[in-house]
Homo-oligomer: A and B are copies of this chain.
Amino acid sequence: MISATIVTAAMLAIGDELLSGRTKDKNIGHLADMLTLVGIDLREVRIVADDEAAIVESVNALRGRYDHVFTSGGIGPTHDDITADAIAKAFGVECIHEPRAMELLGAMYKRRGMEFTDSRKRMARMPVGAEHIVNPVSTAPGFRIGNVYVMAGVPQVFQAMLDTLLPTLHAGTPILSRTVRSPFGEGDIGVPLTEVQKKHPQTSIGSYPKFDGRSFSTEIVIRARDPSFLDAAEADVAAMIDAISRTRAP
């Protein structure tokens, strides 16, 4: 920590698929937006492979240097999901099948009539002493140990975990969000939505494409700490959609 008022952070994105190009990372930009919104200063990002030595070295370098370290990826059920074990190694503690995570996952698979296999049990692995980060999307929790926050790589899950985590980090100021449905695809709203974002710098506006098999629509999510910023941005998003609708009228 450089002074009482500057809080610093780093991100470590983990995954072979990010380095091969098969997956294009979406979490770095989202974390950057959200940290800017809450006044935390993102100073460095690293992307490494699903490789124990690389994860251990990076997380130890970053956690010693920054107030908070956020990781994404490598906490799923497959053999290459080694993040929990690597983080435990970085902290010099044992990695266990955490009892409460085992309960949550066991109950979820039971409800869904699915077998709680050994590979699914991997998702309950955490370093001893870690605390859960709630996963409202797909149950399997992330975790915190020390100043390191270990989250999923799937963007929807990463974002949901971050939404539950951020208010706990920054004097409890929650980030509010508002969702506006657009009947138009990202191709149609991209340029005007960028203008709306520029006009409302105290908000973070994201768009999430939906495809129903025939055509695209978009969910536009506006995030801000102050509801008055949300109101103003929401009104302009609605006006933007009206304007596009009129150009489509016969």
Contacts and interface: CB of A to CB of B under 8 A. Distances in A.
Residue among A45, A49, A191 with most chain B CB within 10 A: A45
B204 A187 contact: no
Interface residues of A, number: 35
Copy count, this protein chain: 2
Contacts of A35: 21
Contacts of A209: 187, 190
Interface stretch (A26-34, A80-88, A93-101, A112-120): A26-34
Contacts of A36: 20-21
Contact of A186 (B30, B42, B186): B186
Contacts of A188: 185, 187, 216
Contacts of A216: 187-188, 190
A246 interface: no
A25 B33 CA distance: 13
Residue among A21, A29, A42 with most chain B CB within 10 A: A21
A34 B101 CA distance: 40
Contact of A25 (B29, B184, B187, B211): B29
A43 B49 contact: yes
Residue among A20, A32, A35 with most chain B CB within 10 A: A32
Given A25-B28, A187-B216, A19 B45 contact: yes
A37 to B, nearest CB: 8
A216 B20 CA distance: 29
Nearest to A204: B21
Given A32-B20, A44-B46, A54-B44, A211 B185 contact: no
A160 interface: no
A12 to B, nearest CB: 10
Contacts of A21: 29-36, 204
A131 to B, nearest CB: 27
A220 B189 CA distance: 20
B46 A19 contact: no
Interface of A: 18-21, 24-25, 28-36, 42-49, 54, 184-188, 190-191, 204, 209, 211, 216
List of 6 A-B pairs having minimum Cβ-Cβ separation, nearest first: A185-B187, A187-B187, A21-B32, A21-B33, A45-B47, A24-B29
8 contacts: A20-B32, A21-B29, A21-B32, A44-B48, A185-B187, A186-B187, A187-B187, A187-B216
